[in-house]
Chain A
Amino acid sequence: MFRHVVQWVVWKDLLTEFRSRETLSSMLFFALIVIFIFSFSFSMNQQAAQELIAGIIWVAFAFTGMIGLGKSFSAELQNDCLEYLQGSPAAKGAIYAGKVAANFMFMLIVEIILFPLFVIFFNLDVIEQISLLLLIFFLATFGLSAVGTLFSALTVQIRAREVMLPILLLPLVVPVMIAAVEATKGALNGDPLPMYQQWLELLAIFNVVFTVVSFWLFDFIIDA
């Protein structure tokens, strides 16, 4: 039962996205602009790029993630879908899990499309580290979507929700941002894994703690 609800929620989100292509296209376009703005505002040479690139990557990913997360539940406002979700007899945790999975997929898709662009524009050398970078992207994106989905649901029914989502979410995901930036920096510099392994562990701990906590607290948010 639980598994079916998760599957249906994911399938529904993917189908609406496939038909409208609203979220992915706006995320991609926004991220592209962020990359350009950054390269203008720092006027980078090769050395500066090496120093700053991990931070730029994660600011771009986090801000585009905000767009995807914000749309995740505001899309449910049309035709009172949210009320049907609230009223449905399905376990609320299953709805949360499905939403997290869908948001995670959207963000990861955008990141996988964007990252080659970073490689091209900033002339990065990533071939040897690609599996580690993917692991970092995977862990950090999961952390962002686990907390972000909870706060997407929390802000959707309040005033000024577009502003409130980043205001509430960004201070809470500071550990994810720091860990992701430091680990990405280490991987891009080709440092040995033990030098930044602790950041991966921190991401794993964050993910476990906040998946469990958000899963539990989601009940109180969707409670009709």
Chain B
Amino acid sequence: MISKVVRRLRRFQGWFGGLAAGCLVAGLYLGLLASPPDYYQGEVARIMYIHVPLAHTALLAYTVVFAGSLWYLWKRDPLIDNVCHAAAGLSALFTALALVTGMIWAKPTWNTWWTWDARLTSFALLFFILLGYLMLRTFIDHPEREARYAAVLAIVGFLDLPIIHFSVEWWRTLHQPQSISLRGVSISSGLLIPLVIMSIGMSLLFAYMLILRTQLLYLSRLLETKRGRLLSQFHFSKADP
């Protein structure tokens, strides 16, 4: 019973982990050593090979949470809920890392750690929504209700993201013409190839971590129910002489 789900997941685990490691090593080598430095920004721009894949993967992870939440509300499969929970935690992690690497990149290029740019602001709000999601889960004792409420929050948050993005973009562009905007993707293939490889590698890393976390959450849920059953058995055997 335990091993059926876990064994099925473990079969993919090694593949994802290995491919992720391969892509990330190749991408880092190409990005940090083999590719030419950026014409305007020089060596500083190399943080792009970490920052952009992190941001992509954060959004990919939240998309997984959204799709899983819809699926959960439809099928009510607790394993899907574990996937959502795992993906939400990873999405929060990747969002936080994307924000931090973005700040590190912003300091030398824009000469500020933070600016109320549309993308930065919507990413910060995405982080808040995900933290709220994870917090909500800790505040509900009933597992089935926890899954249901978390799914509702994830769906509302996902549909809200484009509206948040547009509103923040209009808000900024209305006030002042943007003196510093994120660079467009007019980028030479020497820089693009490592970026694509890093993005694929980061997504595979996410998949690998998702498999691990899902197993962990699945097993701890199983343990919880087993322990509850054992405790109640013990209770009844004592009550019944």
Q: Does A73 contact B (CB under 8 A)?
A: no
Closest Cβ of chain B: how far from A85's Cβ, in Å? 16
Point out the residue from B73, B141, B164 that lies within 8 Å of A220, measured CB to CB: B73
Q: Does B145 contact A (CB under 8 A)?
A: yes
Q: Does B212 contact A (CB under 8 A)?
A: no
Q: Does A209 contact B (CB under 8 A)?
A: yes
Judging by beta carbons under 8 Å apart, are A167 and B135 in contact?
yes
A17-53 Cβ-contact flags toward B at 8 Å (1 or 0): 0000000000000000000000000000000000000
Q: Closest residue of chain B to A214, judged by CB?
A: B156
> Which residues of B are found within 8 Å of A198, using beta-carbon distances?
170
Judging by beta carbons under 8 Å apart, are B132 and A174 in contact?
no
Closest Cβ of chain A: how far from B130's Cβ, in Å? 10
Judging by beta carbons under 8 Å apart, are B128 and A205 in contact?
no
> Which residues of B are found within 8 Å of A150, using beta-carbon distances?
152, 156
> Which residues of B are found within 8 Å of A182, using beta-carbon distances?
171, 174
Q: How far, in angstroms, from A209 to B161 measured CA to CA in the complex?
A: 12
Q: Does A59 contact B (CB under 8 A)?
A: no
Judging by beta carbons under 8 Å apart, are B145 and A174 in contact?
no
> Which residues of B are found within 8 Å of A210, using beta-carbon distances?
156, 159-160
Q: Does B100 contact A (CB under 8 A)?
A: no
Tier of interface size on chain A = 20 to 34
Judging by beta carbons under 8 Å apart, are A220 and B167 in contact?
no
Judging by beta carbons under 8 Å apart, are B125 and A171 in contact?
yes
B interface residues, how many (CB within 8 angstroms): 29
Closest Cβ of chain B: how far from A58's Cβ, in Å? 13
Q: How far, in angstroms, from A217 to B157 measured CA to CA in the complex?
A: 12
16 contacts between A and B (CB under 8 A): A150-B152, A159-B139, A164-B139, A167-B132, A167-B135, A171-B125, A179-B167, A199-B170, A210-B159, A210-B160, A213-B156, A217-B156, A220-B152, A221-B148, A221-B152, A223-B148
Knowing A168-B136, A171-B125 are in contact, say whether A217-B152 is a contact too (CB < 8 A): yes
> Which residues of B are found within 8 Å of A179, using beta-carbon distances?
167
Q: How far, in angstroms, from A150 to B156 measured CA to CA in the complex?
A: 10
> Which residues of B are found within 8 Å of A202, using beta-carbon distances?
163, 166-167, 170
Judging by beta carbons under 8 Å apart, are A164 and B136 in contact?
yes
**Majority DSSP secondary structure for residues of B touching A:** helix
> Which residues of A are found within 8 Å of B129, using beta-carbon distances?
171-172
Q: How far, in angstroms, from A206 to B161 measured CA to CA in the complex?
A: 11
Closest Cβ of chain A: how far from B203's Cβ, in Å? 26
Q: Which residues in window 157-209 of A have CB below 8 A to B?
A: 157-160, 164, 167-168, 171-172, 174-175, 178-179, 182, 198-199, 202, 205-206, 209
Judging by beta carbons under 8 Å apart, are A178 and B156 in contact?
no
Judging by beta carbons under 8 Å apart, are B159 and A221 in contact?
no
Q: Closest residue of chain A to B128, judged by CB?
A: A171
Q: Given A182-B174, A209-B163, 10 other A-B contacts at CB below 8 A? A: A154-B153, A158-B139, A164-B136, A164-B139, A171-B125, A174-B164, A178-B167, A202-B170, A220-B152, A221-B152
Judging by beta carbons under 8 Å apart, are A157 and B145 in contact?
yes
Judging by beta carbons under 8 Å apart, are B164 and A158 in contact?
no
Closest Cβ of chain A: how far from B77's Cβ, in Å? 15
Q: How far, in angstroms, from A217 to B149 measured CA to CA in the complex?
A: 10
Q: Does B96 contact A (CB under 8 A)?
A: no
Q: Does A97 contact B (CB under 8 A)?
A: no
Closest Cβ of chain A: how far from B76's Cβ, in Å? 10
Q: Does B155 contact A (CB under 8 A)?
A: yes
Q: How far, in angstroms, from A213 to B73 measured CA to CA in the complex?
A: 14
Q: How far, in angstroms, from A39 to B193 measured CA to CA in the complex?
A: 55
Judging by beta carbons under 8 Å apart, are A159 and B140 in contact?
yes
Judging by beta carbons under 8 Å apart, are A154 and B149 in contact?
yes
Q: Does A147 contact B (CB under 8 A)?
A: yes
Q: Closest residue of chain B to A160, judged by CB?
A: B139
B58-69 Cβ-contact flags toward A at 8 Å (1 or 0): 000000000000
Q: How far, in angstroms, from A164 to B135 measured CA to CA in the complex?
A: 8
> Which residues of A are found within 8 Å of B73, using beta-carbon distances?
220
